[in-house]
Amino acid sequence: MATLERRAPAKIGLALGAGAARGWAHIGVLRVLERAGIVPDVIAGCSVGAVVGGCYAAGKLDELEAFALSLDKRRVMGLLDFHIGGSGLIAGDRLRRLLERDLSEQRIEDLAVRFAAIATELGTGHEIWLTRGPLVEAMRASYALPGLFDPVRLGRRWLMDGALVNPIPITAARALGADIVICVNLNGDLRVRGTVIQSSWAEAQSDEMVEAVMEEPRRWGLFNPMLDAAERLRRGGRKAAGPGIASVMVDAFNITQDRVARSRLAGDPPDAMVCPKLASIGLFEFHRAAECIDLGRAVAERSLPDVLDLVGERAQVAG
Judged on CB neighbours under 10 Å (0-12, 13-18, 19+), 317 is exposed
Cite the active site residues.
47, 161
Q: DSSP letters of 155-189?
A: TTEEEEEGGGT-SS-HHHHHHTT-SEEEEE-TTTT
E strands, the chain, where? Answer: 12-16, 42-46, 114-121, 127-130, 152-154, 157-161, 180-184, 272-274
Q: DSSP letters of 250-304?
A: HHHHHHHHHHHHHHHHHHS--SEEE----TTS-TB-GGGHHHHHHHHHHHHHHHH
Determine what percent of the chain falls in helix, strand and coil, rounding each to the nearest 5.
50, 15, 35
Q: Please tell me the distance from the alpha carbon of residue 242 to that of residue 176, in angstroms, as a whole number.
A: 46
Contact 244, 228 (CB under 8 A): yes
Distances in Å between the Cα of 197 and the Cα atoms of 141, 260, 313 are 36, 20, 44
Q: Please tell me the distance from the alpha carbon of residue 280 to that of residue 220, in angstroms, as a whole number.
A: 10
Q: Please tell me the distance from the alpha carbon of residue 59 to that of residue 128, in angstroms, as a whole number.
A: 24
H and E: helices and strands count for the chain? 11, 8
Phi then psi for 254, rounded to 5 degrees? Answer: -60, -45
What single DSSP character describes residue 21? G
